[in-house]
Amino acid sequence: MHRRGALFNSHTPRDSQIVKSPSRSGVFQAKTDKRLEAFAESISFDQRLYCQDIRGSIAHATMLASVGLITAEEFSQIEDTLREIESEIEAGKLPIQIELEDIHMHVEQALIDRLGDVGRKLHTARSRNDQVSTDVRLWIRDALDQVDELLQALQRAFVGRCDADFDVILPAYTHLQRAQPVLAPHYWLAYVEKFARDRDRLSDCRRRTNQSSLGVAAVAGTTLPIDRDQTATLLGFDSVTANSLDTSSDRDFMLETAFVLSVIATHLSSWAEEWILWSTVEYNFIKIPQAFCTGSSIMPQKVNPDTLELTRGKSARVMGNLQTLMLLVKNLPLAYNRDLQEDKPPLFDSFDTVIAMLELAAPIVAGSELQTDSISSRLEQGYLDATTLMEWMISKGMPQRRAHHLVGAIVGEAMERKVPLAKLPLEVMRVHAEEIDESVYECLGTANAVAAFVSYGSTAPDQVRAQIESWKERLN
């Protein structure tokens, strides 16, 4: 993925770089109040759009030259100078001018300072409204691709555990109570499926984002003979937006992006919570790599799963950012309103947060160790094979409700005797159901219970093996 400079880590303006800009002109007779300049600036956060802004400007200039609105020589000057400006921004050398408000005006003013009237021609048939929308769409498109790559890496980390963990049986829980036994790779593939849906949502979101806003200008379009399809092609967009009024105000693609990131954060938080529990002494199911844990300032024995806890905590910020964006746009009339300047901080923060979580999740998954001795020593606790016993009775012709009731009574006997079902004498079980015979023991015990599964999508060993191989192929 194309990732340069401040795409995900913006430069912080330095006081030594802040310079004065020329006074306002045109219809304005008074200078801007300095308090408004500080209140209205967005350069402190939107400068990370500089690559996209320059890329969009070069495409726009290319189109202007092709339709005769600027000459080939003027285009050459504009392109060369824009690339110089990009290099200066990349190196942190372009002075920050609060009065210029945003990255778009910084780039254009730098161009004008060097080329004069030739630089002033770049904004022909373009408004900051469509310029900003185009830049953000380009930025989101790149960022979505990065998140997709990281999700794929996390899927691979889970699939990469499956073969080594294939024979490990874990208790699956409902209501945080032991429910039925499952193979460990069945657990891992559950997360792979969740992240697959996340990737599908990313793909759908990218498709709706990947439309070019460039050329709708301020609100109504332009009277000049531009070619919107050309700029869309140059920038890798699938199509152009169809209505200038809608495009000027549209932030649906940002809301959808924030939602998709919130779902990803939810899945990561759920995984983190589970492994936090699993890493406790009480569970002792898994050991988190110490490189991703921290200690206590007072208790020397502590190895805390702080990365997982922060993943769980930071997910709240991502969800909060979605709420912020929803509230930001809910009362806005057509078309552009300055409120929309505030859409970028929550958007950037959601991407930054999710990317940081994903970058840590994959090595944690790959490096964690199942505590197999601890797991197996308590595996027969909780009567994980009770449902299998019920279904064995059903297979012998017993109605489900009667089988459910009888197995409940049999489990009660086993609990009173403090033995697992597989250790309960046959004659005790037959007191409750005469239909039970010696073959019942073939389905009792967690290993037998797992082996008894047959349905598609279940924890049946052949089903899990097929899913592992399928995912290996899909992730290749």
Catalytic positions: 175, 296
- Tokens at 470, concatenated: 């399928």
Give the alpha-carbon dihedral of 296, 302, 303, 307, to 10 degrees. -40
Token code pair at residue 320? 């909060």
**List of E strands, 395-469:** none
Length of the chain: 476
User: How far separated are the first and last CA of the chain, in Å rounded?
Assistant: 18
- How far apart, in whole angstroms, are the C-alpha atoms of residue 362 and residue 19? 44
H helices within 91-127, ranges in order?
Answer: 103-115, 117-120
User: Cα angle at 470 between 467 and 472, to 5 degrees?
Assistant: 110
Determine the number of helices (DSSP H) and then strands (DSSP E) in the chain.
19, 6
Question: Could you identify the residue written with the tokens 């609100």?
Answer: 219
Give φ, ψ of 221 to 5 degrees. 100, -155
Q: What is the 3-state secondary structure (H, E, C) of 277-333?
A: HHCCCCCCCEECCHHHCECCCCCCCCCECHHHHHHHHHHHHHHHHHHHHHHHHCCCC
- Please state, in angstroms and rounded to a whole number, the distance separating the CA atoms of residues 427 and 443: 17
